[in-house]
Chains A and B, each alone.
Chain A
């Protein structure tokens, strides 16, 4: 039938664009990860030396661990902060639901740089938070460690990616049938046990989806640690950036990049399995959500 051909022809240019601008570059990156640098030229003889170097390097191992640690931590923090918000929007807001969601997303559209700039003003030694606290006598000396620290990085990362977590959780709460919660209460379950045995398990897919989004964005975030992290701002992503810039070792940079992609892919596979097993996943697969 003609309609099925239409779908095919519509998808062809889309596939072509993603292959040309995303898949092909990543494959060349993979090829480069097996090359080597000699002086200022790239030696195109396949070798595993780059990967051996990464595995043997304390610095790179630590930076990779740090990136995934940050990703997990920010995912957990945004989950705790976002869970009640998602519940509230899904179950308590009736008329203005889309307004609540839009208002949550609006700060995202101010752009990375503007947001980071604002947080630098907020957290700086002469910044808004310090002068505010001093004016109220809460502290006598400005807290110098606020900005340019790992704490600042994680505050801003939490700020940046919280809306994505709320979106994931909100979808799960929208799909949650209230009657199940009521049934649990009718059967004598307390609030805590209803939450632990009904609400939480049923919102796990949202939790996983939100966490994966936050995780991948935190791991890949370049600007935030750079601009508010100070000495702690060296990340595996900034290391890749340096290897492609000043350090000029594209093959090693490529190998680090692909190590990261491989670990991310594993994490995604795990998340996909969890979501697919859940009822939300089945609904999405059936095209209902």
Chain B
């Protein structure tokens, strides 16, 4: 079969398509003009300064951290339990567990959000940061479970069997063999969960009540006052997200070689 040719060109085009929006954001966040259009007017860091000086956004960012750090921790903890149950231990109804974990991913977010809203109102629970955290954690659980499971399936079962043969109890086998080997998967899952949580808008907007994390503020800016400063903000969000993903993926893929 011939190499390269049309398929290679196609792959380049598709990857170009995937990165086009990010390139545009980057370009205009440095453009010295109020108007987001060609031709470019010169280089400026003004928009970044404007975003960093915005106290409202700073407060939103703080709230986002208050939400996303516990969400990532919870999603990782439950994802780890699910992944261990799915891959390491004999379990009746493994298929059922897998389907149940995928469920939050398969339900349209608006539908899940209104359903949670009804439950909250029936139980007379006030919307708060805690409700955002619970709601987000459950939709991120499928992602953390798959990430951790992808690391667990690569761990050689014989290492655990050897530990058991040498007299280690179940708990000490887990703590001294399995856990160290899956640590990279846990870290990767935490980082990716953090990113998914901080950029989640739909569920957050339903469950947040009077709290306004960064994603809510960004959404209202997108609707009502489009400005190049938003490019700068978007680029900073992209940069931070990508840095987090890069760290997570680096750690996860390193565990492949181990």
Contacts and interface: CB of A to CB of B under 8 A. Distances in A.
14 contacts: A2-B170, A14-B82, A28-B122, A81-B14, A104-B18, A106-B245, A107-B22, A109-B199, A110-B21, A111-B215, A121-B25, A121-B231, A162-B18, A285-B95
B81 A18 contact: no
A156 B170 CA distance: 49
Interface of B: 3, 6-8, 10-11, 14-15, 17-22, 24-25, 28, 35-39, 78, 81-82, 84-85, 88-92, 95, 97, 100-101, 103-104, 106-112, 114-119, 122, 134-135, 137-138, 141, 170, 192, 195-196, 198-199, 201-202, 215, 218-219, 222-223, 226, 230-231, 234, 237-238, 241-242, 244-245, 249, 253
A77 interface: no
Interface stretch (A54-62, A198-206, A252-260): A252-260
The secondary-structure label for the interface of chain B is helix
A107 B38 contact: no
Contacts of B244: 109
A8 B89 CA distance: 9
A106 B245 CA distance: 8
Nearest to B93: A11
Closest 3 CB pairs of A and B: A220-B108, A111-B199, A7-B89
A231 interface: no
Interface of A: 1-4, 6-8, 10-11, 13-15, 17-18, 21-26, 28-29, 32, 81-82, 84-85, 87-89, 92, 98, 102-104, 106-107, 109-122, 124, 126-128, 131-132, 135, 159, 162-163, 216, 219-223, 227, 237, 240-241, 244, 250, 253-254, 257, 260-261, 264, 268, 285
Contacts of A103: 15
A261 B111 contact: yes
B10 A6 contact: no
A122 B112 contact: no
A261 B107 contact: yes
A26 B107 contact: yes
